[in-house]
Amino acid sequence: MSTVQPNPDPAAAPEAVEYVCNIPPGIRRSQEAFRRDLPQLLANKKLEGQWVAYHGDERIGIARSARTLYRECYRRGLKDEEFDVCRIEPEEPDDLDCTPFYE
């Protein structure tokens, strides 16, 4: 059995693949609706930490578990790229570098 090196040689790393952002439009629209509603959702302290599902502008529901909402979306016949399920909590900017300290 070979050993995987802890710090791989960058020269030996697989060829870099140019990253292209590929978020489906249906998910983007759902996220925009979530961001639009987030201040109002956060204003209700009871909702913080719960989950909310959107299909475009339509709010599917709010639940304590994400799985409940995924089930509801699939029950409605929605495809994976048509909805999003988000946790009700303050968002942070995407461009804030979250590099882990050690690994």
Partner 1 sequence: MPVILRKLPFFNRVTTRPVPGGTVPILPYQIVLSVSIAPTGEEELHPRALRFPAVLDTGFNKAFLLREEHLNQWAGLRREHLRQIGEITAYGQKVPLFRGNLWFHRNVAGWLEEASNLSPFCVDLNRGIAVCPAGMTQPRLPLLGLRGLAAANVQLSFHWWKRLVSIRTTPWWHRFFW
Binding stretches for partner 1 (CB under 8 A): 1-4, 6-8, 10, 13-17, 19, 21-24, 27, 31, 51, 65-67, 70, 74, 80-81, 84-87, 89, 94-103
SS3 81: helix
CB of 40 to partner 1, least distance (A): 19
49/25 Cα distance (integer angstroms): 26
CB of 33 to partner 1, least distance (A): 14
The residue (of 2 and 40) whose beta carbon lies closer to partner 1 is 2
Q: Write the burial class of residue 51 (CB in 10 Å: 0-12 exposed, 13-18 middle, 19+ buried).
A: buried
Q: What is the DSSP letter of 57?
A: T
